[in-house]
Structures are given as C-alpha cells and as structure tokens.
Amino acid sequence: MLSRASFAKHSFRTASTAARYASTKSLRETLQDVIPAKQEQLKKLKAEHGQTVVGDVKVENIIGGMRGLKAMLWEASVLDPLEGIRFHRLSIPDCQKVLPSAPGGTEIIPESMLWLLLTGQVPTPEQTRQLSQELAEKGELPVFVEKLIDSLPKTLHPMTQLGMGVAALNHDSSFQAAYEKGMKKQEYWTHTLEDCIHLIARLPALASRIYRNVYKPDAQLAPIDKNLDLVGNYANLLGYGDNHSLTEYLRLYIALHGDHEGGNASAHTAHLVGSTLSDPYLSYSAALFALAGPLHGLANQEVLRWQLAMQTEIGDNITHENIKDYLWKTLKSGQVVPGYGHGVLRNPDPRFIALQEFCQSRPELRESPIIKLVNKTFEVAPGVLKEHGKTKNPYPNVDATSGCVLYHYGLTEFKYYTVIFGVSRALGALTQLVWARALGLPLERPKSLSMDALEKLIKNP
C-alpha cells in the first residue's frame, strides 16, 4: 500500500504527465476528444428541446433579408449587440491575454485563433508552433493553380482571382475523393478537416501570387519558409517580410477578422454551400464571392477612399468643425458614412478598439496623418450620426481603421484589401464546416413565401 506521501507524489506525477500530454496533443487528437461531447450535447438538445420556441418571425424579417432571425447553429462565436464578439465565451481582450503570439511578437497569432475556433480550447505555445509548422509544410500551391493564376488578366479583380484559385484547389479535395469512394458519415469531419487545413495553409501563397501578378509583375516570389508562421510567410511573400510592425498588424487583423458569427454573408454562404456536402474548397470559394460585395468585404477600401477624400478637402487643418462639415456634406449628398454602423452591433466594435490600441502602441502610427484623421473622425462622427437620426448604430466598426493602417505601411492597393479579409475569414468559415460535418447538420432549406402568400398568412394566421 502506498503511503500518503508516496500517493501524493504518484498523483502529482500522473497529473503532470497528463498535463504534459494534453499540452502536446495535435489538433486532430484534440478534436477527437472534443467532438463526442458536442455530438451528445446536440442529441440532447434535439430530444429534449426540439419544440422549444426561441424567437418569432415577423414580416419585416422575411422581407428584410432574415436580419436578426435566430435560425442557424454556429459553434465558434456569438455576437452580442452591446459587448461585441465572443469566441467560445472569450472576448477580444480575453483572447489578447491568453492566446499565444508568434516568437518575438506580442499580437495574437492566427494559428492560436484557428485552434480556439476549432476546439473551444486555448492552445499551448507548443501546439501553436506545431500547427504553424504543419501549415508551412502544406503551404505550396500545386503547379496547375500557379499556371491558372498566372494566366489571368491583371485587370481581373483580385477577389475574382482568389475565388477561382480556391475553387480550382478542389482538384485535390480529400473529402471529394473519399465521398466518391464511399465513406461513413462518421468520417466526414476528418476529410473536411484535412481539406480545411490544406486550404488555410495555401491561402498565403495564392493570395500573394495574385498580388504579385496584378501589382508587382516584375517581383520574384519568395519560397515558403518552413520556420515561419502563417502570417510571417504571407508578409514575406507579399514583399513586406522585413516590416515587423506590418507583420504584427496582419497577425492581429487576420486573427480578429477570423470569425464574426455565422449570419454574415460570407460565413453563411460557406455554411449553405457546405450543407450540400460540397467540399470546403467549393464552399469557401462561394463565400469569397459573397465577401466581394460592396455591402460586405469591400467596406474597408471604401472607408479609406472616403478618409483620403476628406484629407484632400480639409488639408492640414484637421479640426472637429471641419470634420463635422465634411460628415454633413457626405450625409446630405445621400451617401452613408463608411466605417460606421453595423448590422448587429449597437456599440463601438471591439475589433475597432483593438486596432486603435495597436495604433497607439506604435509611434509611427500615432504620428500618421491618416490615423490621426481616423481618431478625430471617431471623436465627431457618432454625435453627427445621432443628430442625423437615420443610423441604428452611430459607432465605428472595424473597417473604420483597418484599411488605413495598411495604407500607412505602404500596402496602398485598395482592391487588394478584401483579399486579406478573405484570407482571415477562412478561419471561422472553414472550422465551422468541420463542425457541421461532425454534428451531422442537414441540408439548409428555409421556406420561402410570395407576397400573396404572406398577405394570406397575415389575414388567416
């Protein structure tokens, strides 16, 4: 029989071994542990609460783009109108405290956000480095995709090229190949995960090749560096690898843009197309074309255009009064103020606050004319928009500053900004395809109604 001291020592060793083992588990091993509990949770919800009413559908919801309807399962994040986004219950400040950064860096590394979105757990630095290495190992583009992108005209929009490139990668889909051979439903998530990891790994090479072809055709693309993280390689491929501040900003930007619950157009599109059992490449290419719309992913470039136009008009005399006049000029011309308002949020976007804090931590950004203008606009715009009275949320969203920082650091090609957004949004959309397959979510098929049918329903509920 063990003495109390021996037993305590034995227990400590067992716990330590378990902790060490848990800290070095791979992403797949972690998911193998997490998925059964989630499957059981969903099974219980269906059995015990399948008939519970969680919301009312109004006519304005049906004809207003289904805005605000509680009608979609999305495990990675929940967006609260007042406090903003939470990733598995963690706020953005929480994530900044606990998620690992890159070696020598201070900002969230997208690999750690990817791990959190997939597993609901905070990875160890070792697990994050392991995932970075895996992504780098899988980061090369197939030659046929390189040739496809190189053959496209420079005048073709970068987002169109990105969507085409992602769709073409479907040629190597593990899910599609396994489905054609015949696989059990319980195996769907494993092949979906394989595709998602490969796609995320290849996005920097694909996105940077598009950038080179459109904007810097004479530049040589650097090879993937197996010792760098995802964004380290992306910045290097873009030709900005020696700019540590820009690289750190891209890490933060991509991590914070990775997911914003499932109802936004790009995430929802990936979910919808994925529900047909299309592989992740086809599903995410469709999401990218949704992201390319002016009402979605193009917003940050519109903000920058508007800010630069204001800067040209008011010159160096940046006062609250001059900004106020320019805001009213914009509103009276029938335009919206870009970068302000949000479909869900009713307070300043926490992502905007996080990017503002990044700007305040860098002397060159504190002195940047365009960033100073962003800050001054933030001090004036909410009051003007409240007085105007036609905006539900008069506060800034993340787009109010995101593109302006890229511009300061020399990445001035507006049309390319949404491509960076596309690289980031993959984190959330693709991880939730894994969960959709793990949970066996069905084909999405809402019921539509004509106006006549609606009027009949209103008269005879």
Torsions phi, psi of 86, nearest 5? -130, 135
Q: How many CA atoms lie within 13 A of 364 on its CB side?
A: 11
* pTM for the predicted model, two decimal places: 0.92
**In b/e form, how buried is each residue of 149-184, taking b as 16+ CB within 10 angstroms?**
beebeeeeebbebbbbbbbbbbebbbbbebeeeeee
Contact yes or no for 166/426 (Cβ under 8 A) = no
User: Do 371 and 404 meet the contact criterion of CB atoms below 8 Å apart?
Assistant: yes
**What pLDDT shows up at residue 194?**
98
Q: Of all residues in the chain, what percent are helix, strand and coil, respectively (each to 5)? A: 65, 5, 35
Q: Quick one: pLDDT at residue 22?
A: 62
**pLDDT tens sequence across 331-348:** 999 999 999 998 888 899
What domains does the chain contain, in order, with CATH numbers?
299-408 (1.10.230.10)
Helix (H, G, I), strand (E, B) or coil at 85: strand
User: Angle at Cα 48 formed by Cα 47 and Cα 54, nearest 5°?
Assistant: 110
pLDDT band for 7, please (50, 70, 90 cuts): very low
Across 89-100, average pLDDT: 97
Q: What is the mean pLDDT of residues 214-237?
A: 96
Contacts of 440 (CB under 8 A, 6+ apart): 39, 185, 188
Asked if the model's pLDDT at residue 313 lies above 60, the reply is yes
How confident is residue 8, by pLDDT bands cut at 50, 70 and 90? very low
What DSSP state is assigned to residue 449? -
Average pLDDT estimate for 215-222: 95
pLDDT beyond 50 at 430 = yes
Buried-state track 274-309, b at ≥16 Cβ within 10 A, e below 16: bbebbbbbbbbbbbbbbbbeeebbbbbbbbbebbbe
> CA–CA separation, 204 vs 59, rounded Å?
43
End-to-end CA distance of the chain: 74
Q: Does residue 5 carry a pLDDT above 50?
A: no
- The H or E element that residue 383 is part of is helix 369-388
Is a pLDDT exceeding 70 seen at residue 450? yes
Separation CA 153–CA 417 (nearest Å): 19
- Place 211 in a pLDDT band, splitting at 50, 70 and 90: very high
Can you tell me which residue has the tokens 């009051």? 383
pLDDT for 21 equals 55
Over residues 151-178, mean pLDDT: 98
State residue 12's pLDDT score.
37
Q: Please give the share of the chain, as a percent, with pLDDT higher than 70.
A: 95
Span 309-320, average pLDDT: 92
Show which residues are catalytic: 296, 342, 399
239 pLDDT more than 90:
yes
Integer Cα distance of 199 and 195 in angstroms: 6
CB contact at 8 A, 416 and 239: no
Asked if residues 86 and 77 have their Cβ atoms less than 8 Å apart, the reply is yes
List 87's β-bridge partners, or say none: 77, 90
Quote the pLDDT of residue 13. 42
76 touches 431 (CB < 8 A):
yes
| Predicted local confidence at residue 447, as pLDDT | 94
Give the pLDDT score at 24: 81
Helix count and strand count (H, E) for the chain: 22, 3
- 115 and 25 in contact (C-beta within 8 Å)? no
Residue 391: predicted pLDDT: 82
| pLDDT beyond 60 at 198 | yes
**pLDDT band of 225, cuts 50, 70, 90:** very high
The pLDDT of residue 323 is above 50: yes
The single-letter DSSP state of residue 192 is: H
Task: Indicate the burial class of 370 (C-beta count within 10 angstroms; 0-12, 13-18, 19 or more).
Answer: middle
pLDDT in tens, 349-396: 999 999 999 999 999 999 999 999 999 999 999 999 999 998 888 999
pLDDT at 132: 98
Relative to beta strand 84-87, strand 90-91 is antiparallel
pLDDT digits (tens, 9 = 90+) for 9-32: 444 344 444 444 567 899 999 999
Q: How far is CA 438 from the centre of its chain?
A: 21
**Per-residue model confidence (pLDDT) at position 16:** 42
pLDDT at 252 over 50: yes
Mean pLDDT (the chain, rounded): 93
What integer pLDDT is reported at residue 1 of this predicted model?
Answer: 41
Who contacts 258 (Cβ-Cβ below 8 Å, separation ≥6)? Answer: 110, 113, 114, 117, 424, 425, 426, 427, 428
Length of the chain: 461
